[in-house]
A and B are shown apart, each in its own frame.
Chain A
Amino acid sequence: MNQNLLYILAFMAILVAAGYVYNRKSVLAQARSGAVQNGRGSMAHWHSQANYHGYFTAWITGLVTFAIFIGGVFIGGSGLPFLLAWLGVIILSGLATILIVNRKITPQFRARNYVERFIKLSLILLSVIAVLTTFGIIMSLLFESLRFFDKVPVLDFLFGLQWSPQTALRADQAGQSGAFGAVPIFAGTFLIMLVAMVIAGPIGLMIAIYLSEYASKSVRKIVKPLIEILAGIPTVVYGFFALLTVGPTIRNFAEGFGFSVPTQSALAAGVVMGVMIIPLISSLSDDVINAVPQTIRDGSYALGATKSETMKQVVFAGALPGIIGAFLLAISRAIGETMIVVMAAGRAANLTGNPFEAVTTVTVQIVALLTGDQEFDSPKTLAAFALGLVLFVITLILNVIALTVVRKYRERYD
């Protein structure tokens, strides 16, 4: 069946192409014979060029055949006779469309305007699809979360301090009822994000300032791509780098001072995540610093300001909204990052502010809740939706703040 659908779609494509070619030719032929009679350039008195008549035919043919195609899908018969009849109707109606349009072709026909309108409509349609998809995802998150909140009270989820989502698989099993207090895992997420930003914020910003203000062109040409390579490393590689190299190093270092530190810790995951988002911050900040016009720097130099005074007080002020935007984007990225924390942060939902302890994050818990054999209506799996919803709301708020800040303080340079 699926394969047959492909054949039918191929026939439709051929019809559309044929419609374009046939009616375009037909316009050119008409135009040529018209030109012989009135002695002017062949397309001179045509409202639309031959191409537009072709496109118009192609669009109409496409729409008609697609409508019949969808109709066939809904009727949903099977077997060879049905398929042949379906294909036959499509081909016949397609050909009929081409011929009817062909009869309509006159120099006055405003094919160009229709084509432009079609294009506008299809662009609108595509953007609507994107918006609806987002909307659909939000709705799904919302409704599944509501189901979860039927079983676990919202307040227990948002403010509970205990997270241990193991529930009894069968009613007769004893003991585990599960605790769904999300505070520890949001605290863990926040802690790792904080460590990552402490690493990536200053380093990324300084790199951007060096590259845009101090580095010579040749240095910049080499260093910038090298830093951006960091962004191209798969996160799973960062993950085992954190687990196998950074984690043990931190542990050994701490043992040297007589502390016992687990291999999986917020610090290991956060440091590596920080390295990962350095290029995000440096690249975006570099762009906004470069967008500050040279004339403003000149104005500062002309007042007798040094390079660093100009950078700190003038260029930075102009680039600040963009830099804030870059930081918020990096924070969103850090919060949503999964692979590194799955491998390096651990799964224990400790409520702690100590970066040397193992913590867990929202993304890690979503992975943990949904991997393995699960019923899809147990609180354990539904909790993933609730976590996803809260994560989404947080990043949404971050983005809104970022946009507002950027819009409010943006300097317009033309």
Chain B
Amino acid sequence: MSDIESPSTDVKFTCRDVKVHYGDFEALHGIDIDIPDRGVTAFIGPSGCGKSTFLRTFNRMNDTIEGCRVSGEVLMDGQDIYDKTLDPVLLRAQVGMVFQKPNPFPKSIYDNIAYGPRIHGLTSSKAELDALVEKSLRRAGLWDEVKDRLKLSGTGLSGGQQQRLVIARAIAVSPQVILMDEPASALDPIATAKLEALIDELKERYCIIIVTHSMAQAARVSDKTAFFYMGDLIEFDDTEKIFTNPSNSRTQDYITGRTG
């Protein structure tokens, strides 16, 4: 099925020999991968294989963990994001992230969305900010559900709504990339379906990288899939190919349920 067309063939991230250490423990043993711009790339693999750790190298969230070191080269649009002169704060404004557990701030729904634009000074008037909040919520498919209660706390929403709220929050700072770390693992099937539909829409505008434990989800939402095992990247290819005709026997074992 090689005639399936990827949305774009441009490369967003280029990784060369990326290693991550937690203290003395090497969690990733030198990863080489090219992540395409636009479309969805899924990371799959058993627990502890390093896929979440790898995901966090793209917005330097590993910096916040004590004792964590990243070596090798991660280029975003050709620029080294681990360059000493690069401010991780600016990087994270371009690379948004959605976490496993919905983590709305203990603020109103409105303030949750407005938080990023405010700290980065993206809007110059209240009306502009209002418009941005509405646009972000609409894009995350949450506007109709919350438009009458923007002043209520974001933590009062249901789990699925909270997860779409934090996606809206990430969109509000106009990132180029959205990282998702098992975004549906705390959601019920209906909320998951909504989330996946949202991912499907968002991939037209953003480069999305998603870590997931559900192979069915990876097959449903992603264009490309990378299989990680014990800190190594085993296979990276079109999702279609990974799930029908993987070239590595360990990939085959994992997706058919013999390992992991």
Contacts and interface: CB of A to CB of B under 8 A. Distances in A.
A148 to B, nearest CB: 47
A133 interface: no
Given A309-B119, A412-B155, A302 B105 contact: no
B100 to A, nearest CB: 8
Given A293-B103, A296-B106, 17 more contacts: A296-B103, A298-B61, A298-B97, A298-B99, A300-B105, A300-B115, A301-B64, A302-B92, A303-B92, A304-B90, A304-B91, A304-B92, A304-B119, A304-B173, A313-B105, A313-B119, A314-B105
A301 to B, nearest CB: 6
B101 interface: yes
B106 A303 contact: no
7 contacts: A216-B66, A217-B66, A296-B105, A302-B92, A302-B170, A303-B92, A304-B116
Nearest to B112: A299
Interface of B: 59, 61, 64, 66, 89-93, 96-97, 99, 101, 103-107, 115-116, 119-120, 153, 155, 166, 169-170, 173
B45 to A, nearest CB: 22
Contacts of A217: 66
Nearest to A411: B106
Contact of B93 (A304, A309, A412): A304
A317 interface: yes
A295 interface: yes
A301 B61 CA distance: 8
A318 interface: yes
A314 B90 CA distance: 19
Contacts of A295: 99, 101, 103
A221 to B, nearest CB: 14
A298 B103 contact: yes
A324 interface: no
A318 B105 contact: yes
A267 B136 CA distance: 53
A390 interface: no
Contacts of A318: 105-106
Interface centre among B64, B96, B106, B155 (most CB of A within 10 A): B106
Contact of B170 (A293, A303, A317): A303
A33 interface: no
